[in-house]
């Protein structure tokens, strides 16, 4: 934990699969990423959701899900802990992400499409991101980023 950047929660309670810190046009943003390829128990998700409820400093949690059942499990756990946040935990379908990359849609807990990843990052970063990722639409080779290793902390056992 002593090697974590200051903007990453310094706790052993939970470690996201990834964090991103964006120095946006208006302010700094911190996003957490959870990659869920197989479903876990509702109790496990309750623990993770409690962490985010108390963590502070994280502006949004992006859940990359491999199956709609996983989203349902997360939402069941959210209801169990009485988390009434809206649009804080958002979902990206893995197949959509692999097929469309930056143009994958992001949905909220009511399955409403909020934006694409490209739109969100362009909104947060302003013209800088627009110049970096451009406006090219279509498939990308994002699957090269799906790596089983953790970026921060201990590797998986």
Residues 30-69 have pLDDT tens digits of 999 999 999 999 999 999 999 999 888 899 999 999 999 9
Helix (H) or strand (E) holding 18: strand 18-23
Q: What is the dihedral of CA 62, 40, 9, 86, to 10 degrees?
A: 40
In whole numbers, what is the pLDDT of the chain averaged over residues?
82
3-state helix, strand, coil in the chain (%, to 5): 35, 20, 45
What pLDDT digit, counting tens, does each position of 134-156 carry? 555 554 444 444 444 444 444 55
Q: Is 10 helix (H, G, I), strand (E, B) or coil?
A: coil
Looking at residue 141, what is its pLDDT? Answer: 46
Closest C-alpha to 55, from 7, 99, 115: 7
Looking at residue 66, what is its pLDDT? Answer: 94
Looking at residue 83, what is its pLDDT? Answer: 95
What are the extents of the domains in the chain? Answer: 18-139
Closest C-alpha to 100, from 88, 122, 118: 118
**C-alpha to C-alpha distance for 113 and 111, rounded to whole angstroms:** 6
What pLDDT digit, counting tens, does each position of 125-135 carry? 776 665 665 55
Looking at residue 23, what is its pLDDT? Answer: 82
Judge whether residue 84 has pLDDT over 60: yes
What pLDDT digit, counting tens, does each position of 88-108 carry? 999 999 999 999 988 899 999
Cross-strand pairs, 152: none
What pLDDT digit, counting tens, does each position of 4-34 carry? 777 877 677 788 998 988 887 778 999 999 9
């Amino acid at each position: 934990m002593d090697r974590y950047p200051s903007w990453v929660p310094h706790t052993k309670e939970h470690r996201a699969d990834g964090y991103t810190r964006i120095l946006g046009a208006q302010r700094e943003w911190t996003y957490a990423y959870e990659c869920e390829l197989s479903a876990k128990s509702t109790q496990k998700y309750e623990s993770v959701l409690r962490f985010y409820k108390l963590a502070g400093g994280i502006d949004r949690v992006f859940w990359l899900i491999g199956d709609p059942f996983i989203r349902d499990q997360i939402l069941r756990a959210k209801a169990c802990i009485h988390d009434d946040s809206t649009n804080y935990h958002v979902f990206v379908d893995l197949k959509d992400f692999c097929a469309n990359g930056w143009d994958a849609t992001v949905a909220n807990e009511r399955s409403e499409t909020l934006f694409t990843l490209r739109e969100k990052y362009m909104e947060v970063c302003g013209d800088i991101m627009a110049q970096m990722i451009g406006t090219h639409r279509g498939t990308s080779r994002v699957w090269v980023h799906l790596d089983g290793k953790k970026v921060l902390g201990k590797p998986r056992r």
